[in-house]
A and B are shown apart, each in its own frame.
With several copies, the nearest count.
Chain A
Amino acid sequence: MSQHIINLIYLLAATLFMVGIKYLSSPDTAKKGNFLSMIGMAAAIGATLAAPEINGFTLIIGGIFIGTVIGAYAAIKVKMTAMPEMVGLLNGCGGAASALVALAEFHGNSTGFVPFTLLTLLLSLIIGGLTFTGSLMAYAKLQGLIPTRPVTYPGQQIINGLIVLATVALSWLVFQDSTNILTIAGVLVLSLGLGVLAVIPIGGADMPVIICLLNSYSGLAVSMTGFALSNNALIITGSLVGASGIFLTKIMCDAMNRSLANVLFSAFGKVDESATATGEIPAQTMKGGEVEDVATILANAQSLIIVPGYGMAAAQAQHATRELADYLGEHGIEVRYAIHPVAGRMPGHMNVLLAEADVPYEQLFAMDDINDDFAATDVVLVIGANDVVNPAAKTNPASPIYGMPVLDVEKARTVIVLKRSLNVGFAGIDNELFSMDNTMMLFGDARSSLQKILATLKK
Chain B
Amino acid sequence: MDTGTIIIGLTIFVLACFAGAELIAKVPPTLHTPLMSGSNAISGIAILGALLATGHPESFNSISVIGFLAVILATINVVGGYLVTHRMLQMFKK
Q: Chain A: residues with CB nearer than 8 A to chain B?
A: 3-4, 7-8, 11, 14-15, 17-18, 20-22, 24-28, 30-31, 33-34, 37-38, 40-41, 44-45, 48-49, 51, 53-57, 59-60, 62-64, 66-68, 70-72, 74-76, 78, 80, 83-84, 86-87, 89-91, 93-94, 96-98, 100-101, 103-105, 107-108, 114, 116-117, 208, 211-212, 215, 218-219, 221-223, 225-227, 229-248, 251-252, 255, 290, 292-293, 296, 300
Bound together, the chains give a CA A34 to CA B55 distance in angstroms of 28
- 18 additional A-B pairs beyond A21-B39, A227-B13, A248-B36, beta carbons within 8 Å, are A27-B28, A34-B41, A37-B82, A49-B55, A55-B58, A63-B50, A67-B72, A76-B83, A90-B77, A94-B46, A96-B70, A96-B73, A97-B49, A100-B53, A231-B49, A237-B42, A239-B12, A293-B29
Chain B, residue nearest A22 (CB): B23
The size bracket of the interface on B is: 35 or more
Is B46 touching A97 in the complex (CB atoms < 8 A)? yes
Interface of A is mostly: helix
Contacts of B46 in A (CB 8 A): 94, 97-98, 101, 218, 221-222, 225, 234, 238
Give the tally of cross-chain contacts (CB within 8 A): 395
Q: Which residue on chain A has the smallest CB distance to residue B48?
A: A48
**Set of chain A residues within 8 Å of B15, measured between Cβ atoms:** 14, 236
Chain A hits for B60, CB < 8 A: 59
B interface list, Cβ under 8 A from A: 1, 3-58, 60, 62-64, 66-89, 91-94
Question: CA of A424 to CA of B26 in the docked complex: distance in angstroms?
Answer: 38
Contact yes or no, B5 A230, CB < 8 A: yes
**Could you list 27 A-B pairs, sorted by A, with CB under 8 Å?**
A4-B3, A21-B38, A24-B27, A26-B27, A26-B31, A30-B31, A55-B55, A55-B56, A67-B75, A68-B79, A72-B83, A75-B84, A80-B88, A80-B91, A83-B88, A87-B84, A90-B37, A90-B40, A91-B43, A96-B70, A97-B49, A97-B50, A100-B66, A215-B36, A241-B40, A244-B21, A247-B25
A227 to B11 CA separation, bound complex (whole angstroms): 12
Q: Contact check: which of A53, A232, A252 meets B9 at CB < 8 Å?
A: A232
Out of A25, A64, A67, A71, name the residue touching B24 (CB < 8 Å).
A25
Residue in B3, B29, B38, B58 whose CB lies within 8 Å of A34: B38
Q: How far is the CB of A81 from chain B (nearest CB, A)?
A: 11
CB distance from B9 to the nearest CB of A (A): 5
Q: Smallest distance from the beta carbon of A36 to chain B beta carbons, Å?
A: 10
Structural contact, B73 and A67, CB atoms closer than 8 A = yes
